[in-house]
Structures are given as structure tokens and as C-alpha cells.
Amino acid sequence: MLPWPFTEHRLYFPVNSSQLDMSNNSCPPLWMQSPSPASVATKIRLSMLSTAMVDALGGPPEFKTRFEYPFVSEMTENHNFEQEFFVLPPGTWTDDTSMTLCLAASLCGLPQTSGPGEFDEIYQLTLYNKWRNEGYMSAVDVCFDIGGTTRGALTRFQEKHAAGVDRDGILQNIAKGYGKDMYSGNGSLMRLLPVGLAYWHDETRAKAFARRSSVTTHPNATCQEACEVWAGAIALIMKNATATSAVNFTKLDLLAYFSNFPYTSYRLQALLSTASTIPSNVVDPAEREAWFSKNHPLLKLIKETQGPASQAVGSKIIDPSFPYHVPSAEKLSSAGIVWTSALAALYCFFATKTFEEGAIMAVNLADDADTVGAIYAGLAGCWYAYEDVDTSKQGEFWTERVRRWRDMLVKRSLVEEVAENLILREERLRKGGVPSER
């Protein structure tokens, strides 16, 4: 969502990293980091929960300036909307999760929605508009936060739908108003997760539906492509993390997916791919990672902005308990633009080694913290999530802090209910159900 014109400045005292022991932030090589194996149901359940948790964690530092807001690692009250609404209690998720739940509900056709389910753009718009007008799928029963492009698209939908305009006419009208580059917000990427989760078994269909899910409010070509590449990443993780037999799939493979994607958006291509193709004779994992480290813009950025030398380019240690440098906004933007949000979320994923670390990194980027956090959390939840009783990868997802986030989440039962319905929908589709296209 695009930034709200409300900024609160607070005094910030950076920590002198020379006084800290930074040895515990060393991440294993990407080629040695594999996703936590779990069932399809577990991955869906916990990636949806992850989105809500980190969205809520990032609510308070939203709209703030990086390095001027206190370190965030626990759920706190959100004062950003108290002038228009009220102080939001700790654990309150925002529009990112509300729209994610609406999209998931549209795919499932939940009984209370009285809709067709599966894939229907008009049904999606109907539920988004119900959220805007009635607080449907809101943590506090009211829409207190909505992006400008989303608001405009829903207004056009409401007017044209009431006038009896058909599906194609409605979508064409929205595209006419919001198809230009100036409307490249992150509002469709932030809610995209359910599409990847529902259709991961058919990557081609997942990518196509991802683009269509963006067109409802963010028809700009870059927004569509960002959703397409993200859905493909979710599908790839799900395919490898839920396999019943051992699969050698690592973070380096996921980076290669982003790098090799056939981008048409020059902005996404410049941020997420290499200028040249890795030589065919470079096959050893360590050698491949060394090549990407020298050639991929994201890994080059991580190298530049992490470690003691990164202070020279504006990175800072923001709390003694957090063993990473946070990059400056000049080096890594967290503004509400789709390509900057995608890059920021991937930075948090590839620069850290656990779900908790990446989440804390994301929300402390400030600015559009809740959305960057939600985008990160959906993908990271797919990667790291496992049942709480599984101790084989203890700490990669479940930690005492993550359990506190879960326990403090407002309306957690609603998030879990939608996730369970999405699990049932995915299973039917994977076992032979054919999704309808309306």
C-alpha cells in the first residue's frame, strides 16, 4: 500500500557495532539452506498465519522514518490511525492480511460469502469492497487502512457494478484508470499468497491466475509481473518443501529462479536478475554461489550492507539483540512501490537464516513496514514453517518470540478458519478438481 501522509519522528540512538559480538549473524551459504519439510496443509496453515503475524508486527512502524522509530520485535499498539479511528491493540493486522483473507475466501467460496468460489475477478472485487465498506475480514470490523490505488479501483468497481456493467467492462474501466506506471503500488503483491498456495501444483495456472488477481485493482504491467513471479516462487517452494521423497532444493536454487525469470519489466529485471547467464561449466554449488555473489544485484547488495564495513554505506545495528545490520533507506527502499517491496522482502529472506530474523529485519525497515513484512512472511512461511512439535529444525520457524506473536494475534481464529478452507480447496484442486474461470 502506498505511504500514508502521517509521520511520527522519535529520537533514535544507533548502537555502536564495534562494541557487539556479531559472530552469531553469519548465515550458512545459500546452497546449504533448504526449506523445512512439512505437509501441504501445514505450509498453507502457517504461511497464512505468518502473513498476519508479521503484518501486525509491522503495523506500528508503518509510515515512519527508518532509524527514527524504536526497535520492533514484539507486538505493540498501533497509533497510526487514532486520529481517524482509535488506537489499535497489539497484534492487529492491517489491510495486507484483510485483502489476503478476502482473496482466499473468494477462491474457497466460503459459505458466509454466498459467492461462487474458485477464480472470479468480480467476486474478488465484491469481497474487497465488502471489506472497505463493512469491515469484512478486518481485525477490528472496520477498514481503517487502504491504499490509494485500491480505493480508486474499488470505487470504479462499485459504480460500474451498480450500473450493470459486465465483467470485461468493469476490468477495462479499472485498467483505463490505473494501468499507468504511476500506479505501480504493492497492493496486489501483498495479498497474492493464496493464489500460489491454492494452485502450486500447476505452476502455469498459478502464474496466470496471479496476473489476473492483480488486474482487479493493480492492472499495471509491472504489478502483474511481480505477482506472476511471486506465485511461481511460492509454487516452487511448495513443490519442493512438501515432497514425500528427499529433494535437493536450496535458497540458491530459489535465487536462480528469480534470476532466470523472463522479465518484461526492466525494473524487476534490474533488481532481481543478472546481466549475464551463469556459465554452463559452473556446476558445483559453492562455485555457483560465488558466481551469483559477484553478479546478482541482490547478493551484491547484501554483501555491501551487512558486516562492520557496511557502516560506511549507512547500515546500522539498531539493537544489541539483533545480530544484523539494517541497510539505509538509500540502499534498500521500503516504500510502497511493487518492485522496491519485492526487493526488500527478498533481501530480508536471503540475508537472514530464520523466519524470526527476517521478520524483524522487514518491519524495522519502517516506511511500508507492514506490507514488506507481509510479503516476506508469506514466502518465508512457506519456506520455514513446520509443525510446532517438530524439533528437527528447531528455531528456523518456531521460537518463543514467534509463539508470542501467534498468541497475541487479534482474531487469530478468523485467519485459521480461512486457512483451513483454503487447505480443503487446494486438496480438491490437486486431486482432480478443475478450477472454473469466469
Q: What is the pLDDT of residue 7?
A: 28
* Closest of 385, 243, 324 to residue 27, by C-alpha: 324
Residues 123, 116 contacting (CB under 8 angstroms): yes
Domain ranges of the chain: 17-26+33-246+333-429
Q: Which CATH class is domain 17-26+33-246+333-429?
A: mainly alpha
Query: Which residues fall in the annotated binding site for Mg(2+)?
Result: 94-96, 368, 370-371
Q: What is the pLDDT of residue 299?
A: 98
Residues 328, 313 contacting (CB under 8 angstroms): yes
Pairwise CA distance, residues 315 & 330, whole Å: 10
pTM for the full predicted model: 0.92
Q: What is the pLDDT of residue 71?
A: 97
Digit-coded pLDDT (tens) for 379-400: 999 999 998 776 666 779 999 9
Q: What is the DSSP string of 316-366?
A: BB--TT--SPBPPTTTS--SSBHHHHHHHHHHHHHS-SSHHHHHHHHHTT-
Pairwise CA distance, residues 254 & 52, whole Å: 24
Query: Which residues fall in the annotated binding site?
Result: 94-96, 368, 370-371
Q: What is the pLDDT of residue 244?
A: 78
In this prediction, the residues of the chain whose per-residue pLDDT falls under 50 are 1-24, 435-436, 438
Q: What is the pLDDT of residue 200?
A: 97
Pairwise CA distance, residues 80 & 63, whole Å: 8
Digit-coded pLDDT (tens) for 308-334: 899 999 999 999 999 999 999 999 999
In the numeric block, the cell 505501480 is attached to 184
Q: What is the pLDDT of residue 117?
A: 66
The strand pairing partners of 88, in sequence order, are 78
Give the rounded percent of residues in the chain with a pLDDT score beyond 90: 84
